[in-house]
Amino acid sequence: MFNKFTRNILLTPFLIWAGLFIFVPLIFIVWYGVTDYDGNFSLGNIGLIFERGYLDALKLSVELALISTVACLLLAYPLCLILTERQRDNTTIISLLFILPLWMNSLLSTMAWQTILEHNGIINQFMKLLDLPTFHMINTEGAIVLGMVYNFLPYMVLPLFISLSKIDRSILEAAQDLGANSWQKFFRVILPLTLPGAISGITMVFIPALTTFVISALLGGGKLLLIGNIIEQEFTFQYDWHVGCALSVILMIFIILNMLLTTAFDPMKEAGDEH
Amino acid sequence: MKRELIHLENIAKSFGNLLVLDEIDLSIYESEFITLLGPSGCGKTTMLRIIGGFEMPDTGRVIFDGKDITNLPPNRRPINTVFQKYSLFSHMNVEENISFGPKIAGKSADYIRDKVKYALKLVNLEGYEKHDVTRLSGGQQQRIAIARAVVNEPKVLLLDEPLSALDLKLRRNMRRELVRINKETGITFIFVTHDQEEALSMSDRVVVMNQGYIQQVGTPENVYNEPENAFVADFIGDSNIIDGVMVRDKVVRIFGREYPCVDSGFPEECPVDVQIRPEDIKLAAPLEGAFNGVVTRVVFWGMSYDINVEADGFEWLVQSTTGRTVGEKVSLHVAPENIQIMSKPQSEDEEVAKDN
Using a CB–CB cutoff of 8 Å, tell me whether B54 touches chain A: yes
Are residues B76 and B185 located together in one domain of the fold? yes
Considering the domain architecture, whether residues B103 and B212 belong to the same structural domain is answered as yes
Which of B166, B199, B225 marks a domain boundary? Answer: B225
Q: Cα B110 from chain centroid?
A: 39
Task: Please give the CATH topology (third level) of the domain spanning A53-273.
Answer: MetI-like fold (1.10.3720)
Question: Which of residues B191, B225, B259 is at a domain's end?
Answer: B225
Instruction: Mark whether B211 and B310 lie in a shared domain.
Output: no
Question: Residue B337 maps to which CATH number?
Answer: 2.40.50.140
Asked if the C-beta of B137 comes within 8 angstroms of chain A's C-beta atoms, the answer is: no
The verdict on B163 and B268 lying in the same domain is no
Neighbours of A28 (CB within 10 A): 12
Determine the distance in angstroms separating the CA of B264 from the nearest CA of chain A, rounded to an integer. 48
B205 and B281 within one domain: no
Encode A3-72 in three state secondary structure: CHHHHHHHHHHHHHHHHHHHHHHHHHHHHHHCECCCCCECCHHHHHHHCHHHHHHHHHHHHHHHHHHHHH
Q: Measured between CB atoms, which of B81, B85, B90 is closest to A177?
A: B81
**What are the pLDDT digits (tens) for B88-127?**
999 999 999 999 999 999 999 999 999 999 999 999 999 9
Predicted TM-score (pTM) of this structure: 0.83
> Going residue by residue through chain A (275 aa), what tens digit of pLDDT does each one get?
678 888 888 999 999 999 999 999 999 999 998 998 888 888 888 888 888 788 999 999 999 999 999 999 999 999 889 888 876 566 676 667 777 777 788 888 899 999 999 888 888 888 888 988 888 888 899 999 999 999 999 899 989 988 998 899 999 999 999 999 999 999 999 999 999 999 999 999 999 999 999 999 999 887 888 888 988 888 888 888 888 899 999 999 888 988 888 877 765 544 444 33
Flag whether B234 is in a domain: no
Hey, are the CB atoms on A171 and B75 less than 8 Å from each other?
no
Sequence letter at residue B344: K
Distance CA A76, CA A209 (A): 16
Q: What is the number of helices (H) and of strands (E) in chain A?
A: 14, 0
Evaluate whether residue B233 is within a structural domain: no
B212 and B105 inside one domain: yes
Does residue B250 share a domain with residue B201? no
Same domain, yes or no, for B302 and B276? yes
Residue in A with minimal Cα distance to B156? A177
Instruction: Calculate the CA dihedral of residues A227, A233, A235, A239 and round it to 10 degrees.
Output: -140
The DSSP output letter for B151 is T
Helix locations, chain B, DSSP H: 44-52, 94-98, 100-104, 109-122, 138-150, 168-185, 196-202, 220-225, 230-235
Q: Work out the minimum CA distance from A195 to partner chain B, whole angstroms.
A: 11
Is the minimum CB–CB distance between B111 and chain A shorter than 8 Å?
no
B264 to chain A, any CB pair closer than 8 A? The answer is no
B20 within some domain: yes
User: Cβ atoms within 10 A of the Cβ of B5, count?
Assistant: 18
Question: Which residue among B75, B79, B83 places its CB closest to the CB of A170?
Answer: B83
- Kindly identify which residue of chain A lies nearest to residue B89, measuring between CA atoms: A171
CB-based contact, B99 to chain A, within 8 Å: no
Give contacts of B149 with chain A, Cβ < 8 Å. 177-178
Overall domain count for chain B:
2
How many Cβ atoms are within 10 Å of B197's Cβ, its own excluded? 13
Distance CA B13, CA A266 (A): 43
The domain that holds B56 is classified in CATH as 3.40.50.300
Task: Please give the residue of chain A at the shortest CA–CA distance from B133.
Answer: A275
Is residue B172 located within the same domain as residue B286?
A: no
**Minimum Cα–Cα distance from A274: chain B residue:** B90
**B50 and B175 co-located in one domain:** yes
- Complete edge-to-edge strand list for the sheet that includes strand B188-193: B79-82, B156-160, B188-193, B33-37, B205-210, B213-218
Interface ipTM > 0.85: no
Q: Which residues of A122-136 are buried (b: 16+ CB within 10 A; e: fewer)?
A: ebbeeeeeeeeeeee
Give the domain-ending residue among B173, B194, B225.
Answer: B225
Cα of A272 to nearest chain B Cα, Å = 8
Range of the domain at B77: 4-225
Give domain limits for chain A. 53-273
- Using the Cβ of B91 and the Cβ atoms of chain A, whether some distance falls under 8 Å is answered with yes
B73 shares a domain with B37: yes
**With an 8 Å Cβ cutoff, are A178 and B100 in contact?**
yes
Q: Please tell me whether residue B329 adopts helix, strand or coil conformation.
A: strand
Cβ neighbours of residue A180 under 8 Å, at least 6 residues apart? Answer: A188, A189, B75, B100, B104
Say if residue B77 is in the same domain as residue B171: yes
